[in-house]
Every structure is written in structure tokens, then in C-alpha cells.
Amino acid sequence: MSVAGFPRTARILSKPEFDLAFRAGLSAGSKLFRGLVVADAAPRLGITVPKRAVPLASSRNRIKRIVREAFRLRRIGLPAFGFVVVARGDIAQADAKAIRSDVEKLFDRLAALKPAPATGTIADLSRAATDAP
């Protein structure tokens, strides 16, 4: 597999993982997307394109392909966060170049956020030990 691959381990697929991001994730937005991040072991991506924003399935799939490709090429340089990208606004009328540049800016904004590690993890326990008086 190439260095810039997109294996199944780099995807957020289950409902509980999406729910965690929507419930406890830090958020940033752009013109075409809303992004959420949660602490994770490695950079992972979840994509949501609602039917309300993009009625045609072929258009939803096109948007997902563009976002996955942008993530795949940048995955090595991204911090160990779970990224959830939600399409919004006038994304159905946007061309591929506009979508790509917008999602690139969103990844930059999301990478700058500092989500807290999940409770009960080793990172959480070590942080609690250093915070004690």
C-alpha cells in the first residue's frame, strides 16, 4: 500500500463514533462544510452529506470522493484526530475545485484545534496526574 493510502482503519464508520464527534467534538466551519474533531489514535475521516443539502445520490458521492481524496493526500501530516466533515450550504452547485480548496482550508482550521483526549485513556490519565496539586 502507498504511503498516502486510505485504509479502512483511517475511516470513521460507526454511528457511535459519529455521535461522539457531534456530541463532544470541537467545531469549525467554512462556506461549504462544517467540521468536527475529537481526539483519536490516528487521523481518521468521517463524511456526512445530507440529502437535504444535496438531493442527488450521484452528487453526494462526487462530494464524498473529493473530500476523501483531499484527506488521503494530507493524512500523513494531520494530527491524530477524528475528523468529521458535514456538507452544507450551496455545495450541490459548487465545482470540484471549489470543494477541494474549501475542504483543504477546513482541514487546516480543524488541525489547529486542540480537543481533549477521551476520558479513561492513557493520555487523559497522564494529564490528570500532571494537573494534580
Per residue in 73-87, pLDDT tens? Answer: 999 999 999 999 999
pLDDT at 121: 56
Dihedrals φ, ψ of 66, to 5°? -65, -45
Instruction: Kindly tell me the sign of the dihedral angle through the C-alpha atoms of 39, 40, 44, 47.
Output: negative
pLDDT at 133: 52
- The reported pTM is 0.83
pLDDT band with cut points at 50, 70 and 90 for residue 90: confident
pLDDT at 132: 47
Residue of higher predicted confidence among 127 and 14: 14
Average pLDDT over residues 44-70: 96
Kindly list the structural domains of the chain, giving each domain's residue range(s) and its CATH number in brackets, ordered by start: 9-131 (3.30.230.10)
- Cα separation, 114 vs 117, in Å, equals 9
In a 3-state reduction of DSSP, which class is residue 3? coil
pLDDT band with cut points at 50, 70 and 90 for residue 26: very high
DSSP one-letter code for 38 = E
pLDDT at 81: 94
Residue 19 confidence (pLDDT) above 80: yes
pLDDT at 115: 82
Report the candidate in 88, 53, 46, 41 with the shortest Cα–Cα distance to residue 67.
Answer: 46
| Whole-number Cα distances in Å, 42 to 8, 82, 92 | 12, 7, 30
Is residue 89 within 8 Å of residue 53, measured between CB atoms? yes
